Structure 1
Amino acid sequence: MSNTSRDAVLARIRQGLAAGPAPLPPRPDFAAPVHPPLNNPDIVVAFAESFQRVGGEFYYCESLEQLAVQLAAFQERQQVGPPYVWESDLQAVLQAAGIEFLADEADFIANADLSLTSCEALVARTGSVLVSAATESGRRLSIYPDQHLVLARPSQVVAEIGDALRVMQERYGAQQLPSMVSLTTGPSRTADIEKTLVLGAHGPRRIALFLLEEEENNG
């Protein structure tokens, strides 16, 4: 290194030392929320937007009559028969709406094109559906069929994943949580092989949610 270059380097070092230590970065606000506010202050609307953004199909039903119409239209578009429904509470709702369903497990493996289950909670932030093995649907109805339908109520929508997990703890107790709890975010998909997106690789290739207004609003 020439004296000129050496002198220039030393001059920059002296200049830097004379300026004193670099300022510390600002102290983070640990009390501030981790996530920004939801895009919509109405968490039900925010969930619907997030759910559709991740590939889910959303249907709002003000009444049992609308549920029957929407579900029939879905079955006609997808060319599928009645859904398998194993939860007694859901069966009662569908019976009241005049909707046909399959209540037993006869030929389930061969004919599991469509299922309908309840859920534990709906997460507005991510558009996720929280399901568990605690319901009469067990593990299979939300995973095995080609298309998964969910029937939920607006009161089940929460803002964040943490809120949904707290709902589970309050419902079952921290020591009695179901053996399987799953956050379903859109249809099952993978791009592991040559970056080609494949739907239905590890579960249903389509998920649709029917949000039915609370019972007191249905008459």
Structure 2
Amino acid sequence: MSESSRDAVLARIRQGLAAGPTPLPPRPDFAAPVHPPLSSADVVVAFAERFQQIGGEFHYCETLADFAAQLAAFRERQQVGAPYVWEPDLQAVLQAAGVEFRADETDFIANADLSLTSCEALVARTGSVLVSAATGSGRRLSIYPDQHLVLARPSQVVAEIGDALRVMQERYVASMPSMVSLTSGPSRTADIEKTLVLGAHGPRRIALFLLEEDDATLDNEKVLSS
């Protein structure tokens, strides 16, 4: 290194030292929310919007009769048979509504085109349905059939995934289910040549029927929320 180059380097070092230490980056506000506000102050509206954005089919039902009519219309559009329903409380709801269903596992593997289950919670942030193996539907009914239907109540909607997990902790305490899953839209993959394929690892369609809380035809509130 020539003398002039050495002097230039030392001059830059002295200049840098004279300016003092580099200011520290601003300290993050760890109390501030990580996510932006939801699309609506009403978590039910926010869930419905997000659920549809990710490919879910949303149905709002004011009464049990309304639910029965919308379910019949769905089956007619999709040309599918009666849903498999294995949860006793959910079967009671369908019986009260006069809705046909398949309660046993007869020919399930060959004919599992449609299932209907309850859920543990609905997450507004992601539009996800939280299901678990603790219900009578077990692990299979939300995964194996070609189309998955969910019946839920507005009181089951929470804002964040953390809120849904706290619901699970409070409900099951030390006996957590062997499987807890967040279902976010229909099953999909684009692993092969970046071509989107639905139904690759689970149902290719998910539809949610949200039944109002004040439906007087249902006197067993734990049917959908416990």
3-state SS of 2:105 partner: coil
3-state SS of 1:36 partner: coil
Question: Aligned partners of 2:170, 2:83: CA distance in 1, in Å?
Answer: 31
Per the alignment, residue 200 of structure 1 pairs with: 199
3-state SS of 1:93 partner: helix
**Structure 1 unaligned residues grouped into runs of 5+:** none
Post-superposition CA distance 1:125-170 (Å, at most 9, x none): 1111000011011111000000000000000001111111111111
Per the alignment, residue 83 of structure 2 pairs with: 83
Question: Aligned partners of 1:62, 1:19: CA distance in 2, in Å?
Answer: 69
Post-superposition CA distance 1:43-85 (Å, at most 9, x none): 0001111111111111100111111111111111111111111
Question: Aligned partners of 1:58, 1:10: CA distance in 2, in Å?
Answer: 69
Per the alignment, residue 26 of structure 1 pairs with: 26
Please report the TM-score for the alignment, with normalisation by the length of structure 2: 0.91
3-state SS of 1:140 partner: coil
Per the alignment, residue 179 of structure 1 pairs with: 178
Question: Aligned partners of 1:183, 1:159: CA distance in 2, in Å?
Answer: 14
Identity rate, percent: 85
Instruction: Judge which range, 175-184 or 9-18, deviates more.
Output: 9-18
Count of paired positions: 217
Given that 1:121 and 1:131 are in contact with CA atoms closer than 8 Å, whether structure 2 keeps it comes out as yes
Post-superposition CA distance 1:184-210 (Å, at most 9, x none): 111111111222211111110110100
- Residue 6 of structure 1 deviates from its aligned partner by 5.2
Per the alignment, residue 133 of structure 1 pairs with: 133
Q: CA RMSD in A?
A: 1.5
Please report the TM-score for the alignment, with normalisation by the length of structure 1: 0.93
Post-superposition CA distance 1:95-118 (Å, at most 9, x none): 111111111111111000000000
- Residue 3 of structure 1 deviates from its aligned partner by 5.9
Per the alignment, residue 217 of structure 1 pairs with: 215
- Residue 7 of structure 1 deviates from its aligned partner by 4.8
Instruction: Judge which range, 76-85 or 191-200, deviates more.
Output: 191-200
3-state SS of 1:58 partner: strand
Given that 2:187 and 2:205 are in contact with CA atoms closer than 8 Å, whether structure 1 keeps it comes out as yes
Question: Aligned partners of 1:39, 1:28: CA distance in 2, in Å?
Answer: 25
Per the alignment, residue 42 of structure 2 pairs with: 42
**Structure 2 unaligned residues grouped into runs of 5+:** 218-226
3-state SS of 2:141 partner: helix
Given that 1:62 and 1:218 are in contact with CA atoms closer than 8 Å, whether structure 2 keeps it comes out as no
Given that 2:188 and 2:204 are in contact with CA atoms closer than 8 Å, whether structure 1 keeps it comes out as yes
Instruction: Judge which range, 67-76 or 113-122, deviates more.
Output: 67-76
Question: Aligned partners of 2:209, 2:4: CA distance in 1, in Å?
Answer: 76
Question: Aligned partners of 1:22, 1:151: CA distance in 2, in Å?
Answer: 58
Per the alignment, residue 61 of structure 2 pairs with: 61
Per the alignment, residue 170 of structure 1 pairs with: 170
Question: Aligned partners of 1:128, 1:54: CA distance in 2, in Å?
Answer: 9
Query: What letter matches 1:195 in structure 2?
Result: K
Given that 2:64 and 2:215 are in contact with CA atoms closer than 8 Å, whether structure 1 keeps it comes out as no
Query: What letter matches 1:168 in structure 2?
Result: M
Query: What letter matches 2:35 in structure 1?
Result: H
Post-superposition CA distance 1:10-64 (Å, at most 9, x none): 4433322221111111112222222222121100001111111111111100111
